[in-house]
Amino acid sequence: MKYLSCRYIEHGIDFEHTRLETCCFTCHSGGGHITLKQEYAGESIDWEKLFEQKRKYRLDHRNGNLTPNCTGCVFLEEREWDEEDYINFLQFNYWIACNSKCTYCYEVQNKKMFDKIKPYNSLPVIKDMIEKKILRPGGEVSFGGGEPTIAPEFEDLIRLLTANGFKNMRIHSSGIKYSPAIAEAIQKGVLNVVISIDSGCEKTYKKIKRVNAYKKVLENMKKYALANQKEYGFVISKYIIIPNVNDNRTEIDLWLNSVVACKGRWIALDIEDVWYKTNRSVISSYYLDLVNYVLTKAKLLNMKVELYDRARGLKEGKNFL
- HEC sequence for 270-294: EECHHHHHHHCCCCCHHHHHHHHHH
Q: How far is the CB of 42 from ligand SF4 (least distance, A)?
A: 19
40: which residues sit within 8 A by CB, 6+ positions away?
15, 16, 18, 19, 20
State in angstroms the smallest separation of the CB of 127 from ligand SF4. Answer: 25
**Contact assessment for residue 319 and residue 283, using Cβ atoms and an 8 Å cutoff:** yes
198 binds ligand SF4 (CB under 6 A): no
73 binds ligand SF4 (CB under 6 A): yes
Q: Which residues pair with 270 in a beta bridge?
A: 240
CA distances from 101 to 31, 205, 207, 212, 221 (A): 25, 11, 10, 10, 19
Binder among 90, 105, 197, 291 for ligand SF4 (CB under 6 A): 105
d(CA 63, CA 299): 42
Select from 29, 45, 107, 200 the one that contacts ligand SF4 (CB under 6 A).
107
Contact between residue 127 and residue 156 where contact means Cβ atoms under 8 Å apart: no
Is 147 a binding residue for ligand SF4 by CB under 6 A? The answer is: yes
Neighbours of 274 (CB within 10 A): 11
Amino acid at 235: V
- Candidates 43-51, 85-93, 144-152, 220-228 — which segment interacts with ligand SF4 by CB under 6 A? 144-152
User: Which residue among 88, 91, 100, 319 contacts ligand SF4 (CB under 6 A)?
Assistant: 100
# of chain residues touching ligand SF4 (CB under 6 A)? 23
String marking each residue 151-190 x if it binds ligand SF4 according to CB under 6 A: -----------------------x----------------
How far apart are the C-alpha atoms of 145 and 115, rounded to whole Å?
Answer: 14
Q: Does 245 bind ligand SF4 (CB under 6 A)?
A: no
70 scored as a contact of ligand SF4 (CB under 6 A): yes
| By the rule CB under 6 A, 221 interacts with ligand SF4 | no
Contact with ligand SF4 (CB under 6 A) among 36, 90, 98, 236: 98
Among 185, 161, 172, CA closest to 308: 172
Strand, helix or coil for residue 303: coil
Looking at the Cβ atoms of 76 and 160, the one nearer to ligand SF4 is 76
- Name the residues that contact ligand SF4, by CB under 6 A: 6, 8-9, 22-23, 25, 32, 34, 70, 73, 75-76, 98, 100-102, 105, 107-108, 145-147, 174
